[in-house]
Amino acid sequence: MKKTLFIVAVIALIAIAVWQLSMLCSNKESKPEVAEEESITALDIIAMEHDAISEALEGVPLNTSAITITDFRGNPLSLSDAIGAGKSALIARFSATGCRPCVERLMAGLEDFCNSHPDSDTTVIVVAASVYARDLNVFEAQYSRKMRFFGAEEFPLDFGEAISPYSFFVDDKGVISEHTILTND
């Protein structure tokens, strides 16, 4: 009798273990699978980082008088002097050694802005890194007369060593809006 009870108990334990194992396996099977096209790529992560940077800068005041840039003669001046008193500006930043298609998209966007806002008082300022001062006037000759080109190896809104082209507006008080970072996508 003890032997029979022991066998029944062992069979019951095995049955319970099998039942729990089958429940565990069925739960795994019922979980939705992530399709490959929904997976996150490195470009998605970069775009999310860029969006976070742009969001964080929205509405932030920029001390334009404390930022030094250089004209094509190599003369230093403040960003506020380049913008002009009481004016707003569209500021673009790129590196001559950066992503060529990104820089081309940036410049095309600036040209579009200048062409679609011919009577705007907004100053368009392009601040380039890794460009010789004497080459800045070449840029000015190549693009719209509404764009003014300056050089600066360092700029307060640069992030990381590789400068992805970016642009933003500053109002007459230096408050940043519409910050956009361009990538080659």
Residues 136-154: pLDDT tens digits? 877 777 776 778 889 888 8
> Judging by DSSP bridges, how do beta strands 123-129 and 176-181 pair with one another?
unpaired
At 108-137, the pLDDT tens digits run 888 888 888 888 888 899 998 888 777 787
Q: What is the pLDDT of residue 28?
A: 45
Please say if the pLDDT value at position 178 is more than 60.
Answer: yes
For residue 159, pLDDT beyond 60: yes
The Cα 29–Cα 21 span in angstroms is: 13
| Alpha carbons 183 and 51: distance in angstroms, whole number | 11
175-178 long-range CB contacts below 8 Å, 24 or more apart?
Answer: 175/59, 175/60, 175/61, 175/62, 176/57, 176/58, 176/59, 176/60, 176/61, 176/62, 177/58, 177/59, 178/58
Mean pLDDT in residue range 4-18: 45
Rounded mean pLDDT of 36-43? Answer: 53
Q: Which residues pair with 157 in a beta bridge?
A: none
Instruction: Return the half-sphere exposure (C-beta side, CA atoms, 13 A cut-off) of residue 170.
Output: 25
Mean pLDDT of the chain: 74
More confident: 57 or 177: 177
